[in-house]
Amino acid sequence: MTYTTDVRDIFQALGLQAPAGGPEGWPVHTPIDGSLLARVAPSSATECDAAIARAQTQFLRWRNLPAPQRGALVRAFGEAVRRHKQPLGRLISLETGKIAQEGLGEVQEVVDVCEFAVGLSRQLYGLTIASERPDHKLLETWHPLGVVGIISAFNFPMAVFAWNAALALVCGNTLVWKPSEKAPLSALALHGLLLQAAQQQGLDHIGLAELLIGERAIGEALVAHPAVKLVSATGSTTMGRNVAAACAPVFKRSLLELGGNNAAIVCPSANLELVVRGAAFAAVGTAGQRCTTLRRLIVHRSIYTTLVASLLRVFERLPIGNPLDDGTLVGPLIDQRAFESMQAALEVARQAGGLVHFGGRESVGTPSGYYVRPAIVELATQCGPMLHETFAPILYVVPYDDFDQAIALNNAVAHGLSSAVFTQDLREAEVFTSARGSDCGIANVNIGTSGAEIGGAFGGEKDTGGGRESGSDAWKAYMRRATNTVNYGTSLPLAQGIRFEV
């Protein structure tokens, strides 16, 4: 297949030098048809140490720049991304297989979080607290941490970096980014635009944001380095456990955004047209390769047959094919391993008595891309593979009779990222979002589990890691808190009324 815009043309449109890994460089293939996109030069362990050292040196200067001036860089970066939305979106599609609309949507997410962070640069508020002592003032202030290490996943090769980078930079930190080895081109492009924006702002960009291309060993070196004060890692739960274990002995902070085995409850009063639309996007968007993908549909028995029939009709006619083509809604899985994992999960479901609809490989004119028709699996009870996340478009459907039972099913998995309820009953909606409802970090009403806005803090509980990124007060994760007591009097009263005379 010949693309009308190849990688070299995209980088030229961005005003950046195309990656030049040479004949011995690391090959990057597109999941669209398996063809070679480019070769990149991987980073060595020595380069990793040098990058972190540069970031630490730059931090000592960057932290002294007023936060609104740091925000000016983030504004310039966001504007550059906005200007180049089309080529950046196309690059995401080429490298990850996302459909064009989702690639463009991810770029918009970068722009949006930059806008949020610019406003935040004037709102890094502390507190003034009433002191119990006369002529004393009690304050809470916030300060930068230092070097922030970012480890991102292939499925959001630009947005996850931006969530972290925009906030970390305005908070006064410097960055070292290790992107997924499956999406280095998107990282090179976004990182290049950030450095370009810094240069145009007249800033010293050396060490401000460093990029490390490599596999697991590079990530391990980043996590272990003593100069890295926070590791923000997005990926599998297994990866997150390794990061947390490496950080724990030295009490290093970690911000973990891990997997999700997300459910939606469909109540008898639900608007079924809304359910079908919401479930379809949540279940098959990004070919089921989102941490917020809808994987479990818990349906009241009275509407089960009707809803499943409607979903089957929609899944049967889903347009599957080249993600760059107009009208395509489902692109390829990222690679052969993802396809094999999906097929293995479907076989386990069959052995557990599940009724499997679709899920097989689709022919779209290329033998090298792993295209599948998203699967619907009917199970009598929640069991087997339904209890575990498979990073592929499989929607398990199970009936329920009682709303409390449905909530229990929603919560009866290891992950706790996203969840939803479809209902017109106010009580059910309120219970679901209350303390005795969903135990997930995201609990939606009458929308699906995916497609979170940047204004709210994003993240989940349990095996999802407990981290929060993006909106609300997620910025506090990138700063350290100090409590300050100021005595502006001439005596020295002690707290708790203690008397200590010398």
> Which residues are catalytic, by number?
257, 291
Answer yes or no: are the C-beta atoms of 375 and 356 closer than 8 Å.
Answer: yes
Q: Both tokens of residue 372?
A: 């599948």
Instruction: Please give the angle made by the CA atoms of 93, 184 and 27, to the nearest 5 degrees.
Output: 95
Q: Name, in order, each residue with C-beta under 8 angstroms of 454's C-beta and a sequence gap of 6 or more.
A: 109, 112, 113, 116, 163, 470, 471
Q: How far apart are CA 169 and CA 148, in angstroms?
A: 9
Q: Name which of 248, 318, 218, 330 is nearest 276 in CA terms.
A: 318
The widest CA-to-CA distance across the chain, in whole angstroms, is 88
Answer yes or no: are the C-beta atoms of 112 and 75 closer than 8 Å.
Answer: no
CB contact burial 282-294 (16+ within 10 A = b; e otherwise): bbbbbbbbbbbbb
**What phi, psi does 289 have (nearest 5°)?**
-110, 45
Q: How far apart are CA 492 and CA 500, in angstroms?
A: 10
Query: Within 10 A of 322 (CB to CB), how many other CB atoms are there?
Result: 22
Q: Both tokens of residue 252?
A: 């290093």
Q: Where are the alpha helices (DSSP H) in 33-148?
A: 45-62, 67-83, 85-96, 100-120
Q: Where are the alpha helices (DSSP H) in 128-183?
A: 159-170
Q: Both tokens of residue 32?
A: 């669209």
Answer yes or no: are the C-beta atoms of 470 and 457 closer than 8 Å.
Answer: yes
Q: Name which of 496, 447, 501 is nearest 133 in CA terms.
A: 496
Instruction: Give the H/E segment covering residue 247.
Output: helix 237-247
Q: How far apart are CA 438 and CA 455, in angstroms?
A: 21
**What phi, psi does 172 have (nearest 5°)?**
100, 15
Instruction: Give the H/E segment covering residue 238.
Output: helix 237-247
